[in-house]
Amino acid sequence: MTTASPFPQDFLWGVASAGHQVEGNNVNSDTWFLEHLPGSMFSEPSGDAVDHYHRYREDIALIAGLGFTSYRFSIEWARVEPEEGLFSNAELDHYRRMLEACHENGLTPVVTFHHFTSPRWLLAVGGWEGPRTAELFARYCDRVMAHLGDLIGVACTLNEPNLPWLLESFGIGGETPENRGSVPVWAAAAERLGVDASTVAPFQFCSTEAGFAVKVAAHRAATAAIKGRRPELPVGWTLANSDIQSIDGGEELANQVRRDVNERFLAASRGDDFVGIQTYGRTVYGPNGHAPAPEGVPTNQMGEEIYPQALEATIREAHRIAGVPVMVTENGLATEDDTQRVDYLRAAVDCVASCLADGIDVRGYIAWTALDNYEWVFGYGPKFGLIAVDRETQERTPKESAHWLGRLAQAHNPLASYETQSASL
């Protein structure tokens, strides 16, 4: 007797990217600005990145040719609105051509309106603690929808608004506004912007309660703007939800981090069309804070335990708390060993299948990332890509992981046995 695949026929199989990490020369963004400041937390500047801005057509064709059915990418606010109130039709036309390329290649475009980076000018008016930010972001989303909305398949408002709270639990960032002036990078940013350091609040490093309120307000205002143009378009945001665990003595801290990072953002997702879950592993807390990976376990390039089983826990948590459909919008592994990546992806897909088999509404699995790219503060060291890039020549070379996951997407058939498909890949 054949068991039907748990994957729905319209399940999205894809890969993801973020504009700043792949396009190159995003010179009007706050992240480019921070990369070049004294005391920068970025290990190197992004520069040309992998020149996806000019090479998107060949990249999109390559992604489709590998067998994927969707491509998640971001629109750069700093390109579309390089100065407050000045919108670039030329840049909007560029992103329209990207969307058209997706449709020409049979890919559903999953579009992120904000993936960490904001226009530099937003930092000067309060950034992600500013009283005008939600309104300004919604205005930008409305302008994008007016120009591009008919071609967007799924809309993600904000990428990982909760990440700064997770980073803070590792001792990264988390400075209160009154203490920012004592941090060299924030002092340098304030001096160049001509503002007080207490007001410098970039999206990735803003973990105050004011920041939480602004991000939730921005998400809701953006959702209303997007729905105002296309009421039927699925809209949600994407969350950096680690599987929060504890060892003896770490239960209280783990519970607090779980509430701050996962649960309250999932609660804010109620009523959305879906919530994007972005999980890479588990985070374990002990009596002295974050517990290092157990001795002898395989680790990724950042020294973190390889633990794909975390994805099942975070999908189930999202289903329980948010109560809306779930989409895996990022999941992947930083490694030079692509055999490790294939094993990781296989285990992660099994997690999704288990959730679907239990009746949880999971709409897609989108791997991070399409191309080896610029990994923010880590620079170009970590290799998450399913497609390798030689940054001297910009030559693209698909890895076995790209072929493996692409074949799974191609082989997907709701009437076939998932076990049979897995065994053949």
pLDDT reading at 414 higher than 80 = no
Q: Give residue 178's pLDDT.
A: 97
- Which residue is it, tokens 């804010």? 268
Q: Tell me whether residue 160 is one of the annotated catalytic residues.
A: yes
Q: Give residue 3's pLDDT.
A: 54
Answer whether residue 5 is part of any domain: no
Name the burial class of residue 38, with classes exposed (0-12), middle (13-18) and buried (19+) by CB atoms within 10 angstroms of its CB: exposed
Task: Give the domain CATH number at 353.
Answer: 3.20.20.80
Which of 160, 263, 312, 330 is catalytic? The answer is: 160
Answer whether residue 32 is part of any domain: yes
Residue type, 339: T
pLDDT digits (tens, 9 = 90+) for 209-263: 999 999 999 999 999 999 999 999 999 999 999 999 999 999 999 999 999 999 9
pLDDT reading at 186 higher than 50 = yes
DSSP state of 130: -
What is the token pair recorded at 404?
């493996």
Please state, in angstroms and as integers, the Cα–Cα distance from residue 205 to each residue in 57, 121, 255, 371, following that order. 33, 17, 22, 25
Cβ pair 324, 331 in contact under 8 A: no
Average pLDDT over residues 277-303: 95
Average pLDDT over residues 375-386: 98
Mutual angle of helices 338-357 and 310-321, in 10-degree steps: 30
Answer whether residue 125 is part of any domain: yes
Answer whether residue 3 is part of any domain: no
Q: Give residue 420's pLDDT.
A: 35
Write out the residue range of the structural domain in which residue 160 sits: 12-424
pLDDT digits (tens, 9 = 90+) for 54-101: 999 999 999 999 999 999 999 999 999 999 999 999 999 999 999 999
Q: Give residue 412's pLDDT.
A: 81
Q: How far is CA 60 from the centre of its chain?
A: 18
The count of domains in the chain is 1
Cβ pair 145, 230 in contact under 8 A: yes
Q: Give residue 4's pLDDT.
A: 66
The secondary structure element, H or E, covering residue 328 is strand 326-330
